[in-house]
Structure 1
Amino acid sequence: MLVPYKSMNQKIAMGLLSFMPKEKDVKKLQKTIERYENDIDWKLYLWKEEDFVGVIGISIESGEALLQHVCVNPSHRREGIGKKMLRELMKTLPCDLKPTKETKRFLRTCVKEEESL
């Protein structure tokens, strides 16, 4: 289930975001969380199964949503959670979803798999 980020989940969100290659540095990670908390155009969501196991974040720019972050706890990877998060997120978006350089491969793979069904 996709759950909008709340500051009470900050440690969980930071832990999940830290699995992304460019979010390893604590100061960078703190700035990222701060942006999601303070910029109305940046939205972060957590994925909850029994526990929180994934995170997905977007920014809205010029009428498009940019997929900024997507990460699943390594012990829950290869279970389709990333695709589930993406599907649920896309249902809520009022605009097209575009990748960033960091999320391009993931988004392209998911779209190809959806098209082949």
Structure 2
Amino acid sequence: MLIRYKKSFEKIAMGLLSFMPEVSDVKTLQDIIKEYDSNPDWSLFLWKEVDILGAIGVRVEGDEVIIQHVSVNPSHRNSGIGKQMIQRMRTHFGDEFRVCADVATESFVEKCDEESASSQI
């Protein structure tokens, strides 16, 4: 299930976001987390089963919600967690906003959308 990020999950969130290729150093991670803490247009969600296994971050721009961070613990990849997080974002924001990806997440979001479309056929 998706839960909203809160400060007590900071280290876990930083650890998950560090798996993204474009997040290469601690300073960048700290800046990203600070933005999620302080910018009302940015929201970070965590995927929790027994443990927290994934993170997905979005920002609102006009009538769009842009998925800008998606990360899953490497031990739990290829089990559908990333796809489920994206589907939940579409469900959560889809009535009010158009949910789309940014450059960093575009290929993954497209792959998830293609898999969802082919599984519905």
TM-score range, shorter chain: over 0.9
**What's 2:14 paired with?**
14
Q: Are 2:89 and 2:99, in contact at CA under 8 Å, matched by a contact in 1?
A: no
CA shift, 1:4, in A, is 0.3
User: In 2, Cα distance between the equivalents of 1:107 and 1:57?
Assistant: 13
**What's 1:102 paired with?**
104
User: In 2, Cα distance between the equivalents of 1:40 and 1:55?
Assistant: 18
Question: Number of residue pairs matched?
Answer: 117
Aligned-pair RMSD on alpha carbons? 0.7
User: In 2, Cα distance between the equivalents of 1:89 and 1:65?
Assistant: 9
Q: Are 2:47 and 2:55, in contact at CA under 8 Å, matched by a contact in 1?
A: yes
CA shift, 1:24, in A, is 2.1
4+ residue segments displaced more than 6 Å: none
Of the structure 1 ranges 73-82 and 93-102, higher mean CA displacement relative to structure 2 is found in: 93-102
**What's 1:72 paired with?**
72
Q: Which runs of 5+ in 1 are unaligned?
A: none
1:28-47 to 2 correspondences below 5 Å: 28-47=28-47
Partner deviation per Cα, 1:31-79 (whole Å, 9 max, x = no partner): 0000000000000000001100000000000210111100000000010
* Aligned: 1:92 with 2:92: yes
- Using the size of structure 2 for normalisation, the TM-score is 0.94
- Using the size of structure 1 for normalisation, the TM-score is 0.97
User: In 1, Cα distance between the equivalents of 2:54 and 2:98?
Assistant: 22
Q: Are 1:90 and 1:97, in contact at CA under 8 Å, matched by a contact in 2?
A: yes
**What's 1:55 paired with?**
55
**What's 1:4 paired with?**
4
Q: Which runs of 5+ in 2 are unaligned?
A: none
